[in-house]
A and B are shown apart, each in its own frame.
Chain A
Amino acid sequence: MNLAFYLLIFSFTPEIGRGSGWSREPFFAFVATGLIINAIVQTLFMPSASELTEMVRTGGLDSVLVRPLDAQFLLSMHRFDFSSMANGLVGLGLLIWAVLRFPVAPPLIAWLLYPLLIVSGVAILYGLIIMLAAATILMGRNQSLYDFWFYITNFSRYPAEIYAGPWGDPLRTFCTFVIPILLVVNVPAGTLARPLSGQAWGMVVLTFAAAGISVGLSRIVFQAALARYRSASS
Chain B
Amino acid sequence: MWKSPVNVAGAASLSFWPILPHMYNSSETKSDRIIEVNDLAKEYRVYDKPEGLWASVRGLFHRKNRIIHALRGVNLSVGRGEFLAMLGPNGAGKTTFLKLLSGIITPTRGTARVLGHVPWDRADDFRRRFALVMGQKNQLWWDLPAAESFRLHQEIYRIDPARFAKIHDELVDMLGVSRLLGQPVRELSLGERMKLELIAALLHEPEVLFLDEPTIGLDVVAQHTIHEFLRHIQKQRSVTVILTTHYMKDVAALCERVVVVTHGSILYDGSLEQIVDRFTTHKVVTLDLENAPAPGEMERFGFSCEVHGPRVSLRIDRSRIADVLPKLLASQQVRDVSVEDVPLEEIVAGLFRGAANRQAGIDPEQEVGAV
Contacts and interface: CB of A to CB of B under 8 A. Distances in A.
Q: Which of A58, A230, A231, A234 has the most CB of B within 10 A?
A: A234
B44 A62 contact: no
Contact of B44 (A63, A68, A69, A230): A230
B74 to A, nearest CB: 17
B95 A234 contact: yes
A68 B99 contact: no
Contacts of A231: 99, 104-105
Contacts of A227: 106, 120
Contacts of A63: 132, 134, 137-139
Interface string B83-114: 00000000000010001001111100000000
Indicate the size class of the contact surface on chain B.
20 to 34
A63 to B, nearest CB: 4
A67 B157 CA distance: 8
A229 B213 CA distance: 22
A49 B156 CA distance: 21
A107 interface: no
Interface residues of A, number: 18
A234 B212 contact: yes
B80 interface: no
A61 B180 CA distance: 26
Interface in A51-101: 58-60, 62-63, 65-69, 71
Contacts of B120: 227
Nearest to B213: A234
Contacts of B95: 233-234
Given A227-B106, A230-B105, A231-B99, A60 B128 contact: no
Contacts of B128: 68
B66 to A, nearest CB: 14
A62 B137 contact: yes
A71 B123 CA distance: 12
B137 A234 contact: yes
B25 interface: no
Interface string A217-234: 000000000011111011
B155 to A, nearest CB: 10
Contacts of A59: 137
A72 to B, nearest CB: 12
B151 interface: no
Interface in B112-145: 120, 122, 124-125, 127-128, 130-132, 134, 136-139
A67 B104 contact: no
A62 B131 CA distance: 12
Contact of B127 (A62, A68, A233, A234): A68
A62 B156 contact: no
Contacts of A66: 102-104, 127, 130-132
Contacts of A71: 122
Nearest to A228: B106
Contact of A67 (B99, B134, B156, B212): B156
Interface in B37-51: 44
Contacts of B44: 230
Contact of B134 (A62, A65, A69, A229): A62
A165 to B, nearest CB: 34
A71 B127 CA distance: 12
B106 A62 contact: no
Contacts of B157: 68
Given A62-B132, A65-B122, A231-B105, 20 more contacts: A59-B137, A62-B102, A63-B134, A63-B138, A65-B103, A66-B127, A66-B132, A67-B127, A67-B156, A68-B124, A68-B128, A68-B156, A68-B157, A69-B156, A227-B106, A229-B104, A229-B105, A231-B104, A234-B95, A234-B137
27 contacts: A58-B137, A59-B137, A60-B137, A60-B138, A62-B99, A62-B102, A62-B137, A63-B137, A63-B138, A65-B102, A65-B104, A66-B102, A66-B104, A66-B131, A66-B132, A67-B127, A68-B124, A68-B128, A68-B156, A69-B124, A227-B106, A228-B106, A230-B44, A230-B105, A231-B99, A234-B136, A234-B212
Interface of B: 44, 95, 99, 102-106, 120, 122, 124-125, 127-128, 130-132, 134, 136-139, 156-157, 212-213
